[in-house]
């Protein structure tokens, strides 16, 4: 593949020459697929994961270890986005764009199968923030009603509720967990005790992006359902990582972003709403394509007017890529990488402190080292070693399936050197 500079020179040369070829978008803009993705014969074989790593455009000098924030999409997804954008640059007729309606239905079918729910219960959003806000602003809660939140919730599932409560007069109550809960049973009990006769909704992050704790969602949703209380699960950190079935999870709604663990096209999300509660939820945006019938989540809640169709066009490829590896294999690998990372940090850096106890975490590793602040570690990891992380009072590393064991070692060595 020619590099971008050569490609631009070619393009300019043709432009100056004024040939008809100027109008055609050169194919070199498209990324390459190095080899087909197949299910692993042996998921413990590092060679398989090295092959997965080659499906991504990250150059060898960069290590992306911040899946909790944003993941690059693999080549097959990038190809569809780039090809679609190129095609739209040539033809925006209604006739050409008819195909996007078909792709949307295919996407809904694949997303709903992936989540184990009905096709009518899923809508495509732009991200988790949008999904959360559809829930926050869609119910008619009133004075006297209580909404129960976890203090660790993301602002789109926290401040958004407080703001709504100011307008409608309902009460927001918050559960805070001890820094190191003894067990998941302790978490379940705290949620259980906080639900009262006035509680109408329990809304929480499935996994906190701040302390990495996994909330026992299934148990909490079952308690809430038995008391006729709605549940909303913010799945930003579980969607695309956990091998989930939402009927089994038992929530009333669930939101996620495709550009995180699912490694999908940027700025696409999913919102699941259980069929039985869909009719209680008012839509926030009504535009062309909205059907006024609250039987299907997508036209009822997911229509926002004209979008950049190049990105949702790649949703089917993104799900296919993920399923070719396998949902369980993905979850197992991500857990394995995090366990290894934690164990190696512990061995290599005396005095390293982890934010949350290991049995309650899964896909996110948060820690502080004794000799440097998290901000210094975060800055130097990228500036000196090309490693993307996050800093939030602790260093956050969130490896996923495109990270290899060699990269885990690289990161641990880099942190050890920065610590001094
Ligand atoms: C728990 C949680 N909810 C919501 C979001 C927002 O995601 P997005 O920016 O894709 O809407 C994040 C982002 O990190 C998150 O961690």
Domain annotation covers residue 410: yes
Domain annotation covers residue 264: yes
**Candidate of 129, 213, 364 to mutate for ligand 1, largest count of ligand atoms within 8 Å of Cβ:** 129
**Residue 31: per-residue pLDDT:** 57
Which residues fall within 8 angstroms of residue 381, CB to CB, at 6 or more apart?
A: 387, 388, 389, 395, 411, 414, 415, 418
Residues 146 and 162 placed together within one structural domain of the fold: yes
Residues 253 and 236 placed together within one structural domain of the fold: yes
The tally of domains found in the chain comes to: 2
Domain annotation covers residue 220: yes
Residues 192 and 262 placed together within one structural domain of the fold: yes
CA of residue 128 to ligand 1 center, whole Å: 6
Residues 112 and 245 placed together within one structural domain of the fold: yes
Domain annotation covers residue 387: yes
Domain annotation covers residue 205: yes
Beta carbon of 236 within 6 Å of any ligand 1 atom: yes
**CATH number of residue 340's parent domain:** 3.90.1150.10
Residues 147 and 288 placed together within one structural domain of the fold: yes
Residues 296 and 340 placed together within one structural domain of the fold: no
Beta carbon of 398 within 6 Å of any ligand 1 atom: no
Of 323, 338, 355, the position where a domain reaches its end is 323
Domain annotation covers residue 225: yes
Residues 346 and 299 placed together within one structural domain of the fold: no
Residues 339 and 236 placed together within one structural domain of the fold: no
**CATH number of residue 227's parent domain:** 3.40.640.10
Residues 154 and 107 placed together within one structural domain of the fold: yes
**Residue 33: per-residue pLDDT:** 65
Atom number, ligand 1, closest to the C-alpha of residue 128: 11
Domain that holds residue 198: 100-323
Residues 195 and 284 placed together within one structural domain of the fold: yes
**Residue 32: per-residue pLDDT:** 67
**Residue 18: per-residue pLDDT:** 36
Per-residue pLDDT of the chain (420 residues; tens, 9 = 90+): 334 434 434 433 433 333 333 333 334 445 566 688 888 888 889 999 999 999 999 999 999 999 999 999 999 999 999 999 999 999 999 999 999 999 999 999 999 999 999 999 999 999 999 999 999 999 999 999 999 999 999 999 999 999 999 999 999 999 999 989 999 999 999 999 999 999 999 999 999 999 999 999 999 999 999 999 999 999 999 999 999 999 999 999 999 999 999 999 999 999 999 999 999 999 999 998 888 888 899 999 998 999 999 999 999 999 999 999 999 999 999 999 999 999 999 999 999 999 999 999 999 999 999 999 999 999 999 999 999 999 999 999 999 999 999 999 999 999 999 999
**Residue 28: per-residue pLDDT:** 41
Atom number, ligand 1, closest to the C-alpha of residue 129: 11
Of 269, 296, 323, the position where a domain reaches its end is 323
Of 308, 323, 338, the position where a domain reaches its end is 323
Domain annotation covers residue 342: yes
Residues 252 and 333 placed together within one structural domain of the fold: no
Residues 225 and 333 placed together within one structural domain of the fold: no
**Residue 345: per-residue pLDDT:** 98
pTM for the model stands at 0.92
Domain annotation covers residue 194: yes
Beta carbon of 154 within 6 Å of any ligand 1 atom: yes
């Amino acid at each position: 593949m020619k590099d971008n500079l050569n490609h631009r020179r070619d393009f300019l040369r043709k432009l100056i020459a004024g040939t008809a070829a100027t109008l055609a978008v050169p194919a070199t803009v498209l990324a390459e697929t190095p080899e087909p993705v197949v299910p692993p014969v042996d998921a413990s074989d590092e060679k398989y994961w090295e092959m997965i790593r080659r499906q991504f455009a990250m150059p060898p000098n960069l290590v992306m270890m911040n899946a909790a924030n944003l993941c690059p999409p693999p080549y097959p997804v990038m190809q569809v986005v780039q090809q679609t954008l190129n095609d739209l640059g040539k033809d925006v007729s209604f006739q050409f764009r008819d195909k996007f309606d078909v792709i949307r239905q295919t996407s809904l079918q694949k997303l709903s199968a992936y989540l184990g729910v009905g096709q009518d219960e899923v809508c495509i959003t732009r991200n988790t923030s949008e999904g959360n806000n559809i829930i926050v602003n869609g119910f008619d809660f009133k004075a006297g009603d209580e909404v129960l939140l976890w203090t660790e919730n993301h602002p789109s599932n926290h401040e958004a509720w407080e703001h709504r409560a100011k307008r409608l007069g309902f009460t927001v109550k918050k559960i805070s967990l001890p820094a190191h809960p003894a067990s998941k049973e302790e978490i379940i009990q705290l949620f259980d005790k906080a639900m009262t006769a006035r509680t109408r909704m329990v809304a929480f992050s499935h996994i906190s992006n701040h302390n990495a704790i996994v909330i026992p969602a299934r148990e909490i949703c079952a308690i809430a359902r038995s008391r006729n209380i709605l549940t909303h699960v913010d799945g930003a950190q579980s969607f695309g990582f956990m091998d989930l079935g939402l009927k089994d999870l038992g929530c009333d709604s669930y939101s996620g972003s495709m550009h995180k663990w699912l490694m999908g096209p940027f700025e696409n999300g999913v919102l699941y709403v259980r069929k039985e509660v869909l009719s209680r939820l008012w839509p926030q945006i009504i535009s062309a394509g909205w059907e006024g019938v609250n039987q299907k989540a997508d036209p009822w809640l997911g229509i926002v007017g004209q979008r950049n169709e190049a990105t949702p066009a790649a949703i089917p490829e993104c799900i296919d890529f993920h399923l070719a590896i396998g949902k369980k294999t993905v979850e197992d690998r991500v857990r394995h990488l995090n366990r290894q990372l934690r164990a190696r940090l512990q061995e290599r850096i005396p005095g390293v402190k982890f934010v949350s106890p290991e049995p309650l975490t899964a896909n996110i590793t948060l820690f502080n080292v004794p000799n440097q602040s998290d901000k210094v570690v975060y800055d130097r990891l990228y500036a000196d070693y090309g490693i993307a992380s996050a800093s939030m009072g602790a260093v956050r590393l969130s490896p996923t399936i495109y990270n290899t064991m060699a990269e885990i070692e690289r990161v641990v060595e880099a942190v050890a050197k920065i610590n001094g």
